[in-house]
Structure 1
Amino acid sequence: MPPTPLPDLLDELLRTYGPCGGEAAVRDVVRRELEPLADEVSVDPAGNLVALLHGTDRSAPVVRVMAHLDELSMMVKRVDPDGTLWVTSLGVMYPGNFGLGPVAVLGREETLTGVLLLGSEHTTADSTRIWETKPDQGDEAMDWSHVYVFTGRSGEDLAAAGVHPGTRVCVHADRRGLTRFGDFVGGYFVDDRAALTAMVGTARLLRGRPHGDVYLVATTSEEMGGIGASYASRTLPGDLTLALDVGPAEAEYQVTVDGGPVVAYADDAVVYDRAVADALVDVGRELGLHPQTAVWQSFDSDASQSQASGQTARAALLSLPTLSTHGYEVLHSGTVDRTARLLAAFLTRPLPVSG
């Protein structure tokens, strides 16, 4: 079977549910694409997909490249007898990031459709929860205490479907997928499905073999603290964890959405390995990819969380410049390919020595 074109793969990944702790369906898609390209593929005890590509120099340092499987989602906090679901977030986001609308309730026995609601505009201060969020009234930012999921099912029906506190709730399939417009694409969960797509693109370009062994790791629960990445960094060979993730295309960072891949030099958790960052910039410039550089704030990654917890000696981050991170995200249509080309070229060269 011919390989899936990268834009189509991104669209498929965006449409696949993958909340923290429930990433199996996304992992299966990535595994399907990586298995023909890797020397070994396995799933570790943390649920990470691990694909090993042997290098031409088996004595060279090993590199671990990571992109996360999980998406921002919700979790049921309590179930009212009338079937109303009260939810909280899995990962840093707010109801406005998703918008009100249909959601998928991933019960153990059945996946149900519900609707994330605030309530009617045509209400007064008697409806306190709604009134609080009106700009001309309570003027509070809408938070998870203000919204609920209407299911149209009774509490007994939900229990039979395996819905209870702890059940994951995702943006519904009807609202997912890739929107193409001009030179750009958009969708929910470009973070981190675009990076997973770039990882697959990198593997395809590395058929000529990387310099040293490379572990491509699709990780679990990044949005909850880099849990899968920290485990993989501790248990796999090598001293360097290099994360692929989105990065905010915002003026404060001098990063543009139509520019080249972004090499990060620091974020909230760590200062990234300067020798690796410099080498990524140099490779990008040689290839004419116009790499951008950034110091991220209000941000961390699989690599920085792994290093901050003492699970890797060295950390690096290559970001895909993205508008509206943790919202309805927008990416230049050439970004995935440019990121894959830069990373693949970097991995065919000797790993720079840390300064």
Structure 2
Amino acid sequence: MSFDYDLLKELTEAQGAPGYEDRIRDIVRREFDGVADDVRTDAMGNVVGTIEGSENPDYEVAVAAHMDEIGFMVKHVTDDGFVQVDALGGWDPRVLRAQRVTVHASEGDLPGVIGSPPPHTQKEEDREKKDEVEDVYVDLGLSGETVQERVAVGDIVTMSQETERVGDLVTGKSMDDRICLFTMLEAAKRVDPDVTIHFAATVQEEVGLRGAKALGVDLDPDLAVALDVTVANDIPQIGSDAKAVTDLGDGAAIKLKDGSVITNPKVHRRMRSVAETEDIPYQMEVLPAGGTDTAGFQNTHGAKPVGAISIPLRYMHTVTEAANTDDVDAAIDLLTAVLDTETGEHDYTL
């Protein structure tokens, strides 16, 4: 790896559910120190680090990656001290059984587990019952009275998982989208741009691209580029190459479309040209569903040319999300090269 794995591990192990990205925000501001010419945070919690262009500072590019991870909010504490939650983001309830979590209470973090009844005690109808988030109970291992004193409705719950190297992969709970946030920070440290670059760490992407939409009103970029993970269904359970979208190890993905956006053809063609000129591995991405901050910028502050670079990810929205380290290298290299070759003279109008 040619990148800072310790920083990636720190970002992906830190907790930050939608609307409560404070810990990630602190890391981002620290990493921008000495790198960006200006750093600011808006009322929603988006962080923008700006590097002024040396040749054409009036031409502005916005680069966005979101800080939040899917999580939960406490909605009820039972008399026996079990915590019930409401989802923040898109969960598959099947992956929640027998997981460790952290409850972020006002007086400090509390470790907990989402239990699963043993098969010995389950009836046939119990085994066939469809999992739902509303059926999740967090066990804190404390008395009902203690839990009710320490946990309140509105407290945040996140998954607890270490980030690990597994072969050529790096896996953890919040690669979506911390691995792209990391890519953005690494590129910010490497670029020497002709134009002004606004590196934006956005909030609340997992609940409707809310941070990027708000930021798209405050910033008025000439070009916007979003960074997010994309689906790599190159696993036996899928079985069809047509459903794979991307393959791990084949390079950074240049987005053509997802469920929220169709990227500007001139933008994605230039990204492809840069990748080929710089000999950076890449693949093209057509994602049938899902949305990214790309659409947040396209839908606010007038018509903007938008593009997106994605990192292929297996097992999305689980605690074992997995990316190939070569693809991370490629994404950093491609973003850096695209920004370093942006002069403000490319015509993206259609």
TM-score by length of 2: 0.90
Distance 1:142 1:240 in 2: 43
Label 1:99 to 1:13 Cα distance change in 2 as closer, same or farther (>3 A). Answer: farther
Aligned to 2:304: 313
CA contact (8 A) 1:222 1:301 kept: yes
Shift of 1:51: 0.1
Aligned to 2:237: none
* 1:338 correspondence with 2:323: no
CA contact (8 A) 2:257 2:285 kept: yes
Q: 2:169 aligns with which of 179, 184, 187?
A: 184
Label 1:155 to 1:330 Cα distance change in 2 as closer, same or farther (>3 A). Answer: same
* 1:157 correspondence with 2:146: yes
Distance 2:35 2:57 in 1: 21
Aligned to 2:81: 83
* 1:115 correspondence with 2:130: no
Label 1:97 to 1:278 Cα distance change in 2 as closer, same or farther (>3 A). Answer: farther
Aligned to 2:159: 171
CA contact (8 A) 2:102 2:158 kept: yes
Aligned to 1:300: 291
CA contact (8 A) 2:255 2:284 kept: yes
Q: Secondary structure at the match of 1:61?
A: strand
Label 1:180 to 1:312 Cα distance change in 2 as closer, same or farther (>3 A). Answer: farther
Whichever residue aligns with residue 188 of structure 1, its letter is K
Whichever residue aligns with residue 244 of structure 1, its letter is L
Aligned to 2:51: 53
Aligned to 2:220: 237
Distance 2:317 2:31 in 1: 26
Shift of 1:253: 4.6
Shift of 1:290: 2.4
Report % sequence identity: 31
TM-score by length of 1: 0.89
Whichever residue aligns with residue 115 of structure 2, its letter is L
Aligned to 1:261: 252
CA contact (8 A) 2:261 2:294 kept: no
Label 1:87 to 1:312 Cα distance change in 2 as closer, same or farther (>3 A). Answer: farther
* Range moving further from structure 2, 312-321 or 225-234: 312-321
CA contact (8 A) 2:74 2:152 kept: yes
Shift of 1:68: 0.6
Whichever residue aligns with residue 212 of structure 1, its letter is V
CA contact (8 A) 1:201 1:337 kept: no
Distance 1:313 1:184 in 2: 35
Whichever residue aligns with residue 223 of structure 1, its letter is E
Whichever residue aligns with residue 72 of structure 1, its letter is I
Shift of 1:234: 0.9
CA contact (8 A) 1:74 1:88 kept: yes
Distance 1:302 1:133 in 2: 40
CA contact (8 A) 2:264 2:306 kept: yes
Aligned to 1:199: 184
Whichever residue aligns with residue 340 of structure 1, its letter is I
Which stretches in structure 1 are left out of the alignment for 5+ residues?
A: 126-130
* Range moving further from structure 2, 335-344 or 92-101: 92-101
Distance 1:68 1:132 in 2: 41
Shift of 1:109: 1.9
CA contact (8 A) 1:192 1:246 kept: yes
Label 1:95 to 1:56 Cα distance change in 2 as closer, same or farther (>3 A). Answer: same
CA contact (8 A) 1:233 1:241 kept: no
Q: How many corresponding residue pairs?
A: 337
Aligned to 1:16: 14
Whichever residue aligns with residue 18 of structure 2, its letter is C
Label 1:16 to 1:132 Cα distance change in 2 as closer, same or farther (>3 A). Answer: farther
CA contact (8 A) 1:183 1:333 kept: yes
Shift of 1:99: 4.5
Q: 1:148 aligns with which of 121, 128, 137?
A: 137
Q: 1:212 aligns with which of 167, 170, 195?
A: 195
Shift of 1:41: 0.9
